Amino acid sequence: MTADAGGQPGAGAGRRGGEGGRRGGGRRDADQRPAGRRGTGRPAGDSGTREAIGEAARAQFADFGYHGATIRGIAAVAGVDPALVHHYYGTKEALFAAAMRLPIVPSEVLTAALSGGAPGEPGFGAHLVRTALTLWESDELKETFLGLLRSAVTSEQAAVMLREFISDSILGTLARVAGLERQGSHAEAEYRAAMVATQMLGLALTRLVLGLPVVAGASVDELAATVGPSVDRYLCGDLDLPGGVSGAPPG
Amino acid sequence: MTADAGGQPGAGAGRRGGEGGRRGGGRRDADQRPAGRRGTGRPAGDSGTREAIGEAARAQFADFGYHGATIRGIAAVAGVDPALVHHYYGTKEALFAAAMRLPIVPSEVLTAALSGGAPGEPGFGAHLVRTALTLWESDELKETFLGLLRSAVTSEQAAVMLREFISDSILGTLARVAGLERQGSHAEAEYRAAMVATQMLGLALTRLVLGLPVVAGASVDELAATVGPSVDRYLCGDLDLPGGVSGAPPG
């Protein structure tokens, strides 16, 4: 899904705080391990290059969307070799996360959090809800997450960027980790993952942005218990799927 | 829920276009019928008063939220008798709708749309999804609805206003029309209606604002078929309710 960045998961850097053991994970390749984003104890030259790449990435993602921006294009704007972009940031997704000032790489967190279970197992949906809410509400992520949501709601350009990122990275990862393509066609996996997004982003909107009293007042565990089964149903329940989705042969 | 406005449903004015037969409804009281919001063929004095009230309402709702703003306070700012506010706009909700330039009064549309069915009946949730999407996507409402969502996401003041309006008017109406308080406690009815909101507003966010391809590309009927059962489950399914909600005695 992030083919032009080499598709190495686990190459993101600088995850911090929050849920502890559940975070992070994903395999790491020592040769590809990026230089980190904390910016401490690094020579000024390196740090300057990293920042120039980050700046270029922010501009290119905004101008061309998540699909359209390329590691090659970002490297050209930053005036560096594309290999340096990979060196500092790893994957395209990790670069996007860094450019958006996300302290984590979403697909890695999702992969790590969900690798212990499987859809259809009791509590999988609840675990997904709990993981997402805990992450969104963490001190490190909350403002950035709300900022992304705000910019997407107010700027068409930002909406395109976030839409493509969610579609490619988050929903693609969810479909993969949840094994959706083993159950059905690619189109069905996409549709199921998107339905999960309608529920999860609605939870974010009503709890974190609007602050509807009942939703904001419930605990993460309470919401996970109530909403989890809806997520389970979207992931592997017996859905009334659109014709174009259900008709396709299994993946 | 809108006690200080006399609580007469059906007193809103100026509904237009869109879903036709399903819209409108709610009982009307000829004595209380407001003067309409179309502003055509009205004496200049009346129209000036109406507009002054509308202006005052916009300011008071923004300053004090949906709860805090009162018909009395709005009348004072507009320099008119509170009875005139009722005369022109009917209920507090209808005044809010007019002030927000909504071409409909949400609780009336909801009441009319859902009065034909009952939760637990096959297809009730799907009908609710279809009604909401059709309304949000109508030419008359789409921009206003997106504008409200945008302002709530970017302004804390607007978020408070929208939150209170959704909690009081929309969710209160949903709980009433769906007969939720006949099934369980008031707290349970509130919780169930709020869970419906997490799903429905997530659908609005992903389809209308973010435009996630799969969600935006599906038809209203397809989404209703997939999402409807989740709504049914929130309304009358066997939920794992928070302790403080499920423990309360029925009705």
- How many A×B Cβ pairs under 8 Å? 146
Nearest CB partner across the interface for A205, out of B202, B207, B234: B202
**Cross-chain Cβ contact A163/B241 below 8 Å:** no
Mutant choice from A214, A238, A241, A246 vs B, greatest count of B C-beta within 10 A = A214
Nearest CB partner across the interface for A203, out of B190, B202, B219: B202
Please report how the helices A82-89 and A92-99 are oriented relative to each other, as an axis angle in degrees rounded to 10: 70
**HSE of A179, CA atoms in CB hemisphere, 13 A:** 13
The interface residues of chain B toward chain A in range 213-242, judged by CB-CB distance below 8 A, are 213-215, 218-219, 222, 225-227, 229-230, 233-234, 239-242
Q: Is the CB of residue B56 less than 8 Å from the CB of residue B77?
A: yes
- Indicate the pLDDT class of residue A247, thresholds 50, 70 and 90: low
Predicted pLDDT of residue A178 = 86
Going from the C-alpha of B126 to that of each of A5, A15, A242, B21, B24, the distances in angstroms are 42, 41, 14, 18, 20
Stretch among A165-174, A221-230, B189-198 having the lowest mean pLDDT: A165-174
C-alpha radius of gyration, chain A, whole number: 18
Query: Low-confidence residues of chain B, pLDDT below 50?
Result: 1-44, 248-251
Predicted pLDDT of residue A233 = 95
Q: How far apart are the first and last CA of chain A?
A: 17
Q: What would the mean pLDDT of A30-34 be, rounded to a whole number?
A: 38
CA distance B33 to B12: 8
Q: Is the CB of residue A107 less than 8 Å from the CB of residue A173?
A: yes
Q: What would the mean pLDDT of A192-205 be, rounded to a whole number?
A: 96
Instruction: Record the pTM.
Output: 0.78
Tokens 């940031």 map to which residue?
A89
Write out chain B residues lying below 8 Å of A213, CB-based: 163, 167, 194
* Segments of chain B assigned E as strands: none
Residue A251 predicted with pLDDT over 80:
no
Q: Is B124 in a helix, a strand, or coil?
A: helix
Q: Is the CB of residue A228 less than 8 Å from the CB of residue B241?
A: no
Nearest CB partner across the interface for B211, out of A159, A191, A230: A159
Tokens of A219: 């605990």
Q: Is the CB of residue A200 less than 8 Å from the CB of residue A181?
A: no
Predicted pLDDT of residue A112 = 86
Going from the C-alpha of A57 to that of each of A132, A155, A196, the distances in angstroms are 26, 18, 29
Residue A234 predicted with pLDDT over 60:
yes
Pick from B102, B105, B92, B124: which is nearest to B23 by CA? B105
The interface residues of chain A toward chain B in range 17-36, judged by CB-CB distance below 8 A, are none
**Cross-chain Cβ contact B197/A206 below 8 Å:** yes
Predicted pLDDT of residue B156 = 87
pLDDT in tens, B207-244: 999 999 999 999 999 999 999 999 999 999 999 888 87
Q: Is the CB of residue A217 less than 8 Å from the CB of residue B199?
A: no
CA distance B228 to B220: 11
Predicted pLDDT of residue B42 = 39
Residue A29 predicted with pLDDT over 70:
no
pLDDT in tens, A34-74: 444 433 434 446 778 999 999 999 999 988 889 899 999 99
Interface confidence (ipTM) of the complex: 0.77
The interface residues of chain A toward chain B in range 147-206, judged by CB-CB distance below 8 A, are 149-150, 152-154, 159, 162-163, 166-167, 171, 190-191, 194-195, 197-203, 205-206
Angle in degrees, CA A172, A174, A175, rounded to 5: 65
Phi (first) and psi of residue A105, to 5 degrees: -105, 110
Pick from B44, B31, B35: which is nearest to B12 by CA? B35
Q: Identify residue B131 by its one-letter amino acid code.
A: T
Write out chain A residues lying below 8 Å of B213, CB-based: 163, 167
CA distance B108 to B11: 9
Pick from A43, A68, A71, A66: which is nearest to A56 by CA? A71
CA distance B206 to B199: 11
Write out chain A residues lying below 8 Å of B227, CB-based: 195, 198
Can you count the helices (H) and strands (E) in chain B?
14, 0
Tokens of A141: 């992520």
Q: Name every residue whose Cβ is closer than 8 Å to that of residue B19 and which is 6 or more positions away in sequence.
A: B109, B113, B131, B134, B135, B138
Predicted pLDDT of residue A182 = 85
Q: What would the mean pLDDT of A186-202 be, rounded to a whole number?
A: 95
Q: Residue A83: is it exposed, middle or buried by C-beta count within 10 angstroms (0-12/13-18/19+)? A: exposed
